[in-house]
Amino acid sequence: MFDQDFTSAILASISAMSAWEIAAVILALTYLFLAMREKISCWYAAFASTAIYFFLFWDVSLLMESALQVFYLVMAVFGWWQWRSHQDKQQNIKIHRWPISTHLLVLATISGLTLLLGYFLEKTTSAALPYLDSFTTLGAIVTTYMVTRKVLENWIYWIVVDGASIYLYLDRGLYLTAALFLLYVILVIIGFFQWYAIYKREKQSEITNLGAVLDNQATTA
């Protein structure tokens, strides 16, 4: 019975999708695929998808989700500028990792703000799952910034945020969006291994170049 209800809900959601929603989904997936390959054009797809989602969420009165899209728009421009400015200087931003202390600080900040914002929403609004909604929103903000700076662990953060979003959307009856986020989780895992391979290759190249410099200095001396 549950499977039949779930399948029926998915089919109903697909039939109810507007052309704009379909375009937003395609552009969002395009952004993810391009970001996995470190293509600067990913930010164009991100901006277009986010602009569409801003109006879609506003139209169905998901005000916080709509407000989050404004941040995404700003980050799309910021990410493009960051990647482009380094590209113009022929100094691409390299994939790098944050130290454990930075991650602990970020996680503590997200947790604290989630409790504060969740409590505020719970007491002042009729928001569903205010704490989970707050967590996914704050987590998405931090993780999007990590993408603009090419922090390797952004993919791990996305796994957690998108995974939590699946439950959030299922609870709201947004089965198609939940299915989309399930696909995101799969793609994000692939993205992590792709960036990790690039990260290891760049690190090995740096070690090789450093060794060559040291050998040259020793020969000169």
Interval 136-160 mean pLDDT: 93
Position with higher pLDDT, 109 vs 207: 109
Q: What are phi and psi of 88, to 5 degrees?
A: -65, -35
The kind and range of the H/E element at 117 are: helix 100-124
Distance CA 23, CA 115 (A): 35
Interval 205-209 mean pLDDT: 78
Q: For 114-137, how does the pLDDT look when each residue is reduced to its tens digit (9 = 90+)?
A: 999 899 988 987 777 889 888 988
- CA nearest 65: which of 118, 134, 125, 17? 134
Q: For 165-203, how does the pLDDT look when each residue is reduced to its tens digit (9 = 90+)?
A: 898 878 877 777 788 889 999 999 999 999 999 999 988
- CA nearest 190: which of 147, 216, 155, 215? 155
Position with higher pLDDT, 147 vs 210: 147
- CA nearest 154: which of 143, 139, 138? 143
Q: Residue 99: pLDDT above 90?
A: yes
Q: Residue 151: pLDDT above 90?
A: yes
Sorted by where each begins, the domain ranges of the chain are 2-211
| Full-model pTM | 0.78
3-state secondary structure of 96: strand
Q: Of 24-33, 40-49, 128-137, which one has max mean pLDDT? A: 40-49
Tell me what the pLDDT averaged over the chain comes to: 84
Position with higher pLDDT, 178 vs 33: 33
Q: What are phi and psi of 151, to 5 degrees?
A: -85, 125
Distance CA 41, CA 207 (A): 30
